[in-house]
Amino acid sequence: MLRCVGQRLATLYQGAVAVAAAGQTGTGSCCCCCRAIAAVPPLRPLPAPSSRAEAALQDLLLEAAGTEGQAGAGRQPQGSMATTVLDGGVNQTELRPNQEEKKRKQAGGENQQAVKKLKEEAEEQSKKCPKRKVVLLLAYSGKGYHGMQRNVGSSQFKTIEDELVKALVKAECIPENHGDDMRKMSFQRCARTDKGVSAAGQIVSLKLWLIDNLVDKINEHLPPGIKILGLKRVTGRFNSKNTCDARTYFYMLPTFAFAHKDHDSQDMGYRLSSEALSHVNRLLASYKGTHNFHNFTSGKGPRDPSAKRYIMEMYCEEPFVRQGMEFAVLKVKGQSFMMHQIRKMIGLVIAVVRGYAAESIMVRSWGEEKVDVPKAPGLGLVLDTVHFEKYNNRFGNDGVHEALEWHDIEEQIMGFKEDYIYPTIVKTEIEEQSMASWLSTLPIHDFSATASGDQLNENHSEKMSADLDEGSDGGDSD
């Protein structure tokens, strides 16, 4: 339809030009079409026709006639022509592009190019740096953190893994979406330490891009109390939790905990005698071997096979003085530990040394009887070392992988203990007196009361037992 209108307007214009020419020469007469055109009051007198003006107007009308079928009647298309009549009497044309539409198309094109460029860069980086399975030696002070394990979807409780994952993403050694789903990078911790528990030798295994200066770049985005001390390549099927042979923990406590119950429990001037130290070590050594530790955890009955655990060694080192208070470090190495097991092992020894319980309670606690075993505070517990002896024997000398031993950075490990772990324990103990407060609760326990194994609640779900095991492979729920 628009094409017909344009053609008719062009015909009328040609007629009007002819009439105007005839009128100027005084020849010819007007038809109805001419009278109709003459009836329209012009904005200004029609200029004398010229071939340039006629050609321009005809082009304009034909262009308008060719827009038939375009959506949005009355909308001026991009690049359309508009006629302007100048004072000189010559019709000229100018372009009036739709600036908004042009900007939208330009922005859309730029966005598409940016997305395409990012994809190309990601693909290029993935090809250059394929993800490899590694282990990270991680040290941290647990003060102020709600344990090691990350609680995805919960920002209320800050954990060590929350800080670690953020640092990995910022260091650009894992894709950002791997931070939301840690299974995508095959992440596995060796031990799941509980609230307030520190570590000097935690091991995590995962897949990441081996970029330059990787350890330094990760540490740049970690808070001071958390640090990556080492990195090593491992086999593709390595799992830090399942491959671990044993775990060593230490427990740092003020030595007045071993004073007799009649002694002042808050005496900072107390010093542990060599006789008392020998007594403590004799009791700790009795834990060596395989025993039924159902009384040293929760959720397990005396006939649960998983309650039996193998202890390789346990002893107390020579005491030392920090800020006027004497401390000692107890070390325990075992294949695996259950929830609260280590703290209860230490709590029972303290109860015996202080005179609240007889030494016979040690053997009785491994039987089917239900024994009231106190749980020492969690402040001084630290994951010290994890052991991979079988893995080292098989892959440590294959020419491709390294043995998971860290003798070359022992000074760094000790430095982290001295800078972050020991000071935190000493400072918190002096300010909060957690051990002294706990010692005051020992008289509440009835160490002579027992109950037969048949009276114990053995109807625990398999899921609870599985959760306890997963969370306590290395005493990691203590």
Active site residues: 194
Please say whether the beta carbons of 442 and 354 come within 8 A. Answer: yes
Partners of 281 in the β-ladder: none
Q: Is the dihedral of CA 227, 231, 236, 237 positive or negative?
A: negative
Here the tokens at position 17 are: 């030009």
Give whole-number Cα distances, 469 to 35, 284, 306, 336, in Å: 104, 23, 8, 9
Name the residue type at position 87.
D
Question: Hey, what long-range contacts does 99-107 have (CB within 8 A, 24 or more apart)?
Answer: 102/78
The number of C-alpha atoms within 13 Å of 157 and in the hemisphere containing its C-beta is 14
Here the tokens at position 28 are: 């010819």
474 vs 468: CA distance, rounded Å: 11
Nearest to 225 by CA among 271, 176, 179, 159: 159
304 exposure class (CB count in 10 Å sphere: 0-12, 13-18, 19+): middle
